[in-house]
Amino acid sequence: MIRLHLTLAITLCGALCHPLPAWCQDKYLLKIVQQAPPMEINESIRALLDGHAYQILDGNGNVRCEIWFRKVVPVQATPEQVQNGLTYQEIPQTTLLGAVRYAQVGRDYRGQKIKPGVYTLRFALQPQDGDHMGTAPNPEFCLLVAADKDVGPELLDVKKLHELSASSMGGNHPGVLLLMGDSKPQAQPHLAEKQDEHWVLEIQLKADAHGKGAVLGIGLTVVGKSSAA
């Protein structure tokens, strides 16, 4: 009996002393503050960004990253598409969507290290080839470009964007943040916990469809990586 009690005590102590798994520890929060975009960003780009910073806080209250979205996103959509709800299909590739500042080392959707600093966010589609098969639930992403490498808001050549993003990461692959779709976004920005430990900032942005005002739903994965990473 004494041996049984001792065994149970050791087992219980081990369970209590063992660190909690990451999914128990990581709880992220959204905080919205009035704050101008970073000065590191080219002025022609800064002028297009909103004055609200969307801060992603970790479980200890530390800022993981801060995001500024574009005031109005230009889209290529018909009146019918606007009425039915815009999707990512109406956004031209390489469109500037916003900017992000990492206060600490982050990770992109591939698990690549993101060095602390300021980056622009540009829309891109995942190449449809064998190398990317099954690596993401959908093909839409934001590519990270170091602020000092992005010199204006104009559309870029797709290959050039990939090269700029890869060099910003210090490797051969672009820095990528997965986009989740939402054609009927909620009016109030919020941070949603999805399956597979993905945290998604869901927000409703203003859009311009050939001079007609519209609403665009964005779901930016701020925490989470591919199961293939």
User: Where are the chain's structural domains?
Assistant: 28-223
Runs of H (alpha helix) within the chain: 2-17, 22-25, 43-46, 79-84, 158-169
Query: Cα(225)–Cα(178) distance, rounded to whole angstroms?
Result: 8
Query: Cα(193)–Cα(216) distance, rounded to whole angstroms?
Result: 20
Which pTM was predicted? Answer: 0.85
- What integer pLDDT is reported at residue 181 of this predicted model? 77
Burial class (CB in 10 A: 0-12, 13-18, 19+), 72: middle
Cβ atoms of 218 and 186 within 8 Å: the answer is no
* Under-50 pLDDT residues of the chain: 1-25
- What integer pLDDT is reported at residue 137 of this predicted model? 80
- What integer pLDDT is reported at residue 100 of this predicted model? 98
- What integer pLDDT is reported at residue 133 of this predicted model? 52
Over the range 147-174, which residues count as b (16 or more CB within 10 Å of their CB) and which as e? beebeebeebeeeebbbbbbebbeeeeb
